[in-house]
Copies of this chain bind each other. A is one copy, B any other.
Amino acid sequence: MTLDEMAKQLGVSKSTVSRALSGKGRIGAETRQKILSFAEQHNMLQETEQKKNTETRNLGVVFPADIYINGNPYFQECLLGICEAASLMEYNVMIITGTAVDISGIQRLVEEKKVDGIILTRSLVDDKAVKYLIDLHFPVAMTGLCDYNEVIQVDTDNELASENLTSVLIGKGFQKFALIVEDLSYRVNRKRYDGFCNALLKNGISREMQMVYTGNLKMELLDGIISDIVTHKVECIICGDDVICTRIMSRLQAEGYRIPRDIAIASLYDSQNLQCFTPAITAVNVMGRQVGDMAARQMICYLQKKKYESKVMMDYEILLRKSTK
C-alpha cells in the first residue's frame, strides 16, 4: 500500500499522509489520528513485518544485585532453568542487574526494544520494576508471587512444603518443635509459618506447646535461642533456611549436642552444604532450576500466543536425611 493509495482512500493528499506517518512537519492532531488509525487497520502486512523487526526473540532476566551478594545460589539455578528452556525454544537470554530502587537497566532494555519480555526473579512488596512494566503493558513473568494478575507467576508452594515437612516429622514421632524463621513480613517466611501451623492443626497438635522464633536472628541471639530450646525440651528444630540451619547446627555441635539423638534438625531450604554435615540435614529442595524453566516456558508461550498458565505452583522435594533419623 503506497502513500498515494492511502491518500485517495482517506480523501487527503499524499503529503499529509507522509507527514502523519513520518511525524515530521506540521499536521493537525485530528487528521494525524485519522491517518494513523487507518494505517493501523490496513497495515496488516506492515504490522507483521514490523513485528518481525521488533521481535527480538530475547528474554530479559533481572539479576537482583542487592540481595544475592554472597548469598545462596538460587538465582543461579533459576537462571540455568531459564536459559535451558529459552535455548530449547530458540530464544536468547539477556541479563541486567536491578535493585529495589534502581530499575534503570530494565528501562533501558525495554526502551531500546532489546527484549520481548522480562522475567523477574524475586517479588518485592511494592516492586518498582513490576509497576513500570505493567504500566507499559510489557510482558512480565516472575519467579515468585505478586498481586498483579497480568504477571505470569511461577513459584514453589512454600506453605505446602512447610506443612508437608512438618507432617512428615510429626509422623516420625516428634511432638515438640522449634520453628526459626526470619522476619514474618516477608511473604515466604509467612508462608512457611502458616504451613507449619496447618500441619499442627491437621495432626491435632497444640500450637501453644511449640516454640517459634522470628525476626532478626543475629548470631549473638543464637545462644539465647538454643538454651531456650533446650530448656523447653524441644525435640526437633525446623529452620527457615540453610543459613539459619548452619548456624544452629554448628552451634549445637560445638556445644556437644548429638544430632539427632539429643535433638533433631531440619531446614525448609536445602543447600549443598546441608548434606555435607555429619549427620546430613533433612531439608526441602525447592528446585530453582525447574522454577526458572517453567517461568521461561510460560513467558515464551505467552509471547507466541500459545496456551500458557498465568500462575503455576511447582513441586518440591523433601530430602529426608540423617538429622531427623
Residues of A whose CB lies within 8 Å of any CB of B are 58, 61, 63, 65, 68-73, 75-77, 79-80, 83-84, 87, 92-97, 105, 109, 114, 242-243, 246-247, 249-251, 253-254, 256, 258-259, 271-273, 276-279, 289
Contacts and interface: CB of A to CB of B under 8 A. Distances in A.
Nearest to A105: B87
Copies in the complex: 2
B92 A96 contact: yes
13 contacts: A68-B73, A68-B80, A69-B289, A70-B77, A93-B96, A243-B273, A246-B273, A246-B276, A249-B250, A251-B278, A253-B278, A254-B258, A271-B273
Contacts of A61: 95
Contacts of A63: 79-80, 83
Nearest to A245: B276
Question: 10 closest A-B pairs (Cβ-Cβ)?
Answer: A253-B253, A246-B276, A76-B76, A250-B277, A73-B73, A254-B278, A251-B278, A247-B276, A246-B273, A273-B273
A92 B94 contact: yes
Contacts of A84: 65, 97
Contacts of A254: 253, 258-259, 278-279
Contact of A80 (B65, B273, B277): B65
A64 to B, nearest CB: 10
Contact of A278 (B92, B250, B258): B250
A253 to B, nearest CB: 4
A251 B253 CA distance: 9
Contacts of A256: 256
Nearest to A65: B80
